[in-house]
Structure 1
């Protein structure tokens, strides 16, 4: 999962970042309204952790901006302890859930996962496509019941492809989704090709179909029409 944390407190933001990083997520930070707005226009995120009180704007306005721009990220609102009106306005404005300060990081993690399941995975932790089964709780992938020996990045890559089946995904979009927005500055994305190659090899070894098409000059597509 790729998460944008919009939080003006650098101490809280750093704590969230470090926790989510240890859990294997890609986590980007924005400390202001303008910085968050810029990142949301340039990059895509599975979930946005949105503090309502920002130094240069209101998080609810950022929520409105996301809706106007058609940004489909899940949103977990961070609210002050007694700000019930903000919680209601946030949920009515398109937020998916809220958490109240102070909060425990494991609870925040659980709420983010629940939003991701609802928004991206139809509410389930088990994703199945033909012979492929992915378990987002255990991070296990199997072909016809045979467990694949894949890395965390390979699991995330396969999940990203399956969730976006029949869509052409550029090498850059795959890189930023799995490794972070800093990959924008890289000269090439050859490492994406290597991960695709390794994933194909492991799926083939388990007698799975090769659904991953190379779209020359663009990127890759998980072709769901293959049998």
Structure 2
């Protein structure tokens, strides 16, 4: 899961980033309206943490731009402003949630998991595809009644395919989602093939009812 923090307070940004990375999220950040807009235009995120007060603009205006672009990235507004008007305005424009500063990191995590669950998991805590089930909170994967042991990137890759079943996913999309922004500028994306090869072998060992299909010149899909 990839999070974008749009926040100009370095101390808060660093605290939140370290916390989320410890929880296995990929974290990108922007500290201005313009840099945030450029990130949002170029990449997709599983959740955007958006401050209202930015040095060169307003987070509410950035939220309006997100909606104009018809981006589906969930947005949680973070702001020292705890007024009803700000909260109502943000939610009416299309924010998924609102959290006033200062906040507890545990509450932030609960809010992030909630919006991701609504947007990627149809509100379910366990994701299932064929005989594969994933518990995102514990990062535990089961194939039938047996646990599938994966390393971090293998888990991230499988999760991404399971929430996009039977859809052709481009290599650059996979690289950005699992390894972070700008990975699409790498000289080669052959490492994705290696990861899928290892993951396919583990799935077959436990008799998974789904497998990866290469789509020539594009990427892969999980069927």
Superposition deviation, residue 182 in structure 1? 3.2
Q: State the distance in 1 between where 2:221 and 2:127 align.
A: 18
Q: State the distance in 2 between where 1:45 and 1:34 align.
A: 17
Superposition deviation, residue 33 in structure 1? 0.8
SS at match of 1:28: strand
Aligned to 2:60: 60
1:73-222 matches, cutoff 5 A: 73-222=73-222
Aligned to 2:20: 20
Contact kept? 2:130, 2:210, Cα under 8 Å: no
Aligned to 1:11: 11
Contact kept? 2:6, 2:48, Cα under 8 Å: yes
Q: State the distance in 1 between where 2:134 and 2:69 align.
A: 31
Superposition deviation, residue 185 in structure 1? 2.8
Superposition deviation, residue 81 in structure 1? 4.3
Cα offsets for 1:45-78 (capped at 9, x unmatched): 0100000111111111111111111110111111
Q: State the distance in 2 between where 1:162 and 1:148 align.
A: 14
Q: State the distance in 1 between where 2:95 and 2:105 align.
A: 19
Q: Aligned pair count?
A: 223
Cα offsets for 1:74-132 (capped at 9, x unmatched): 11111224322111100111111111101111211111011100111011120111111
Aligned to 1:34: 34
Q: State the distance in 2 between where 1:99 and 1:152 align.
A: 29
Task: Kindly report the root-mean-square deviation, in angstroms, between the aligned alpha carbons of the 2 structures.
Answer: 1.1
Contact kept? 2:132, 2:144, Cα under 8 Å: yes
Q: State the distance in 2 between where 1:43 and 1:182 align.
A: 9
Q: State the distance in 1 between where 2:22 and 2:182 align.
A: 18
SS at match of 1:99: strand
Superposition deviation, residue 29 in structure 1? 0.2
Q: State the distance in 2 between where 1:98 and 1:82 align.
A: 9
SS at match of 2:182: helix
Contact kept? 2:130, 2:209, Cα under 8 Å: no
Which ranges in structure 1 are unaligned for 5 or more consecutive residues?
Answer: none
Q: State the distance in 2 between where 1:184 and 1:213 align.
A: 21
Superposition deviation, residue 152 in structure 1? 2.1
SS at match of 1:174: helix
Aligned to 1:69: 69
Superposition deviation, residue 212 in structure 1? 1.2
What TM-score, normalized by structure 2, do the two folds share? 0.96
